[in-house]
Structure 1
Amino acid sequence: MIVLNLSCDREHRFEGWFSSNEDFDRQHGRKMLACPLCGSGEIVRLPSAPHVRTGAVPRDAGTAVPTPGRHYANLAPEVVTKLIDHIIDATEDVGAAFPEEARKIHYHEVPERQIRGTASNREVHALRDEGIEIVALPIPPHRAGKTH
C-alpha cells in the first residue's frame, strides 16, 4: 500500500491510497480519480517523501498506531462529515450483498446505480481482479445503518 500526495486544479490537497504506483497510474490514466472536496477530475501527483519506519513503537509511548483509512490530511472534520453525508445520500446501501450487486452492475445484469455496502478483504481483492472498480471508505458505524 502506498500513500500519495495529490492535488486538483483548484489546489485542494489530499491523500490517495493505492496498492502500487502502477495502480495510481492506471486509475489516473482512466480518469478515475476525483478531488474529494470539489469533485474535479484534474488530478496531479505532488512530490512526497517516503515514510520509513525504523523501529517498533515503544509500548509505553502512550501513542496509538494510526489505522489506515481513518485519518485525513488537510481536511477539517466538518468537510469529512459533509462528504460522508453526501455518499450516504447518493448511494443505495446493499449491505453484505455488495460484492454480488457490484458484479451484477459491472456485467450489466441490472441497471447501473451507485451502491455501498460491506465486503471482506478477500471479496475486495476478487472484485478488483475482475476489473470492478471499488473504493473503500471509512463510514462511522453510527452512520453505516442509515438508509438512503
Structure 2
Amino acid sequence: MIRYALRCDADHGFEAWFGTSADYDDQAARGLVECPVCGSRAIGKQIMAPAVAGTRKSGTAPDPARLQGMMMQMAREVRSHVEQNFDYVGDAFAREARDIHEGRSEKREIYGEATPAEVRKLKEDGVPCAPLPPPPPDPAKLN
C-alpha cells in the first residue's frame, strides 16, 4: 500500500491510499480520483517524505537453544494434556473418530494411531483430526 498527499486544482489538500503507484496513475487517468471537498478530478500529487522503516535493532537476537527448549516444553505439555484428558483408542482411532463425527458414538475427545491413508481419508471426509506432537526427547539425555 502507498499513501499519497494529493491536492486538487481548487487547492484542497487530502490523502489517499493506493495498492501501488501504478494504481494511482491508472485511477487518476480514468478520472476516478476526486477531491473529497469539492469533487474536482483535476488532482496532483504533493511532495511528501517517504515513510521508511528504520533498521535499528531492538534488543538482542533470540537464543536458538532457549527457543528450542521452549518449543520442546510446549510439545511435552500439549502431549501430556491430551494423554491425561482424552480417551486413548489405539489403532481404532480412524474408525472411532468417524463414528463420533457421524453421531454413531458418544461425543468425546480421543487420541490414538492412524495410518497416513486413514488420516487423509478422514480429512477428505471432513472429520477433524490433527497429529499429536511426538514425545520430545528427555532433556537430561540431550547432548
TM-score category, normalised to shorter length: 0.3 to 0.5
Structure 1 or 2, whichever has the larger Rg, is 2
TM normalised by structure 1 equals 0.43
Structure number having the greater helix percentage: 2
TM normalised by structure 2 equals 0.44
